[in-house]
Amino acid sequence: DTEVTQTPKHLVMGMTNKKSLKCEQHMGHRAMYWYKQKAKKPPELMFVYSYEKLSINESVPSRFSPECPNSSLLNLHLHALQPEDSALYLCASSPLIPTYEQYFGPGTRLTVT
């Protein structure tokens, strides 16, 4: 299995809602990532988990809360988002050696109203 899956594909939420994005991989990768991508822009790294521990937080606002329940799953909990948070949220996973090649999921298209 060389796939990263993400659910849901689309999400519309109000600014007072709480929702979660889910990501799963079964490639045995021990690093998992959350990226945010705006239209016509490159992905921006948000969080990195290595061996199920948060290793990088790119100064992301606390309204985004990541969680890694086990080596295959990654969640992103959303609360009190702003309209400017509307974007494509991409999950990726990678081995930690030797290539660190990141495999991306299909993404969740998030719209905050």
Partner 1 sequence: ELKVEQNPLFLSMQEGKNYTIYCNYSTTSDRLYWYRQDPGKSLESLFVLLSNGAVKQEGRLMASLDTKARLSTLHITAAVHDLSATYFCAARRGTSGSRLTFGEGTQLTVNP
Is the Cβ of residue 18 or residue 111 nearer to partner 1 in the bound state? 111
Q: How far is it, in rounded angstroms, from Cα 88 to Cα 97?
A: 28
Asked if 101 touches partner 1 (CB under 8 A), the answer is: yes
Pairing of strands 108-112, 10-13: parallel
Q: How far is it, in rounded angstroms, from Cα 91 to Cα 89?
A: 7
CB atoms < 10 A from the CB of 27, how many?
14
Asked if 90 touches partner 1 (CB under 8 A), the answer is: yes
Tokens of 104: 């991306």
Q: How far is the CB of 42 from partner 1 (least distance, A)?
A: 4
Binding residue count for partner 1, defined by CB under 8 A: 25
Asked if 59 touches partner 1 (CB under 8 A), the answer is: no
Are the CB atoms for 84 and 96 separated by under 8 Å? Answer: no
CB atoms < 10 A from the CB of 31, how many?
19
Asked if 33 touches partner 1 (CB under 8 A), the answer is: yes
Is the Cβ of residue 8 or residue 14 nearer to partner 1 in the bound state? 8
Asked if 10 touches partner 1 (CB under 8 A), the answer is: no
- Residues forming contacts to partner 1 in the complex (CB under 8 A) are 31, 33, 40-43, 45, 48, 50, 55-56, 90, 92, 94, 96, 98-107
